[in-house]
Every structure is written in C-alpha cells, then in structure tokens.
Amino acid sequence: MIDLHAHILPGFDDGVQSWQEAVELARLAVRQGVSRLVAAPHVLADQESYRAALRLPEAVAQLQAELGRAEVPLEVIGGAEVRVDEAVPEQVQRNPALTIGGQGKYLLLELPPGPLPRVMEQVVFQLQLLGITPIIAHPERCWEWWEDPASLAAIIERGALAQVTAESLVGGAGPELRRAARRLLRAGLVQFLASDVHRNARRMLQLRPAVREAAKVLGEARAEALVEANPAAVLAGEPVGAELPEPEGRRGRGLVGRLRGWGRHSHNASVSPACGDSHGEL
C-alpha cells in the first residue's frame, strides 16, 4: 500500500516529535503493508510556517537515512498538508517541495477550522493553472459539505481530487464521519484513502481495515486502487485514472445528481462544527 498522508517528520507540527518515534511509526506502517509513504506536515497560512517548509527536503532525507540505519524498508516521499489560503499558489511556486515528491504536480490541501474559506475555489483554480492538481484532505470532516454536497462535487468535477481518512471510514472518528465517508465513496468523490497518522499510531492501524470497508461499497479492486494504483499515479506525476463506479440505480446522473438526497445532518458531540483539522487526533 501507499499512504499519501502521514505526519511523520519531527519538528514540524503535532505529529511525531523525535526521530526514534518516526522510525517506530515507519516500522508499524511496514507491518501494515505500506511500502511508500508521503511525509506531509501541516503548513499553515503564515510566513513562519512557509519558512519552516523550506527544510522539508532535508528532513525527508534525514528520515530516509534513519530508516536505512534501522533497516526499515519504507520509502518516504516529501510533501506537505498546506492550509487553504490565497497565498498558496504563490508559495508553491516559490517552494515546489510543498507538492508531493516536489514534482509540482499534486498538492495536499487542508481546510482551515470553521466555515469553508471564500477563496477555496479560487485557490483550486489557480493551482490548476500552474499544472498542480489539488488533493483535498479529509473532506468528510467538512460539515458544510454535508449540508451542500453540490459544492464539493463541483470542485471534484473541475479536476480536484479527494482523500478520506481511514479512521473516518471505519468509524473510529464517530458515526457522523463514517456515514459521510461512505456517502463520498458511493458518490465517486474519493480517489484516496490515507492514514493521516500523527503521534497516536491507531490511525495507521486503520488503513487496511478501511480498505476492507471500502470494498463493501466499491468492490475489492476499486477499493485497493485507493491505496495502490491511484496514489502510485500521484507519486509518478501521472494522471489518476481509476474512476469509481456509480451506485446501483444512479448511473448517468453525474456527481451532483448522485449526491441529491444527502440532506442536512444533525451534529453530535463527536464532531467539531468545522471543516478543517483541529491538529490533533480527531
């Protein structure tokens, strides 16, 4: 498997805090069947965070060296989980290491806490003009997309991609997020499953179970593509070609049509009324 989203670089965010911890998490990833992993620390919408991101290639190289010494057979690829902000396109041009593998082809985007940013569609469009495909991290957490799924479908139809957190799909983050993740899968809006692992290793442990859950919705081959063929295309800088099947009885309706009936959901205490990551182990 390929894990497209892991907070495994110490010294950048609320992920692992030491090289030893990073090596142990990498060892666990290998035991789960992960062969390649994207180190994607949070990069927030401020100059300090952008400056820190200049150290990403050096940190990835150091982690790979640590893994070599520890004989952990995991390939680490650089990247970042970049907070949506109007400055993102300019910052990515200045520092291509923010993109996955530094190739300037794919960028993992994080929504800020609170309402959807007004610049969301603008940022997605500007990135695409630069030849960069945005990958929206954990869209299942965004309550505004629960209530207005057409806005997410419109972004996906224009060429963006989406990555659901494995823990959400298996129910570890609560029933609301599990339902949201399954609906996104059924609607054909999800191209990747990833761990989004931080310090608590339980998210890494959910990756393989999440593939099994996805298989109940999509079938085994399509579910495996979420952690194999699709992320492999990203790492190669190639188009993601695997399209997910439409649900029974909904063929020919398009993304927005497939999401009709996904109405207003009540929120419970297990879900924060925000779109972004609270930078913790949700």
152 pLDDT above the threshold of 70: yes
124 pLDDT above the threshold of 80: yes
Q: How large is the average pLDDT for residues 201-230?
A: 96
Out of 3.20.20.140, 3.50.50.60, 3.90.1010.10, 2.40.100.10, select the CATH number for domain 2-258.
3.20.20.140
Say which residue, 226 or 241, is predicted with more confidence. Answer: 226
Q: How large is the average pLDDT for residues 182-198?
A: 94
The lowest-confidence range among 75-79, 80-84, 225-229, 243-247 is 243-247
Residue 262's pLDDT is what?
52
Q: How large is the average pLDDT for residues 115-135?
A: 95
Mean per-residue pLDDT over the chain, rounded = 89
| Amino acid at position 23, single letter | V
What band does 277 get if pLDDT is binned at 50, 70 and 90? low
Give the C-alpha distances (Å, rounded to integers) separating 272 from 30, 203, 280: 32, 18, 12
Q: How large is the average pLDDT for residues 38-54?
A: 95
Q: How large is the average pLDDT for residues 127-137?
A: 97
What band does 115 get if pLDDT is binned at 50, 70 and 90? confident
Residue 38: closest CA among 14, 66, 6: 6
What band does 260 get if pLDDT is binned at 50, 70 and 90? low
255 pLDDT above the threshold of 70: no
The lowest-confidence range among 102-106, 151-155, 158-162 is 151-155
Say which residue, 235 or 188, is predicted with more confidence. Answer: 235
pTM of the model: 0.89
Measured between alpha carbons, how far is 88 from 30 in angstroms, rounded to an integer? 33
Residue 224's pLDDT is what?
97
Backbone φ and ψ of 116, nearest 5°: -55, 135
Q: What's the Rg (C-alpha) of the chain?
A: 17
Parse the chain into domains and list their residue ranges: 2-258
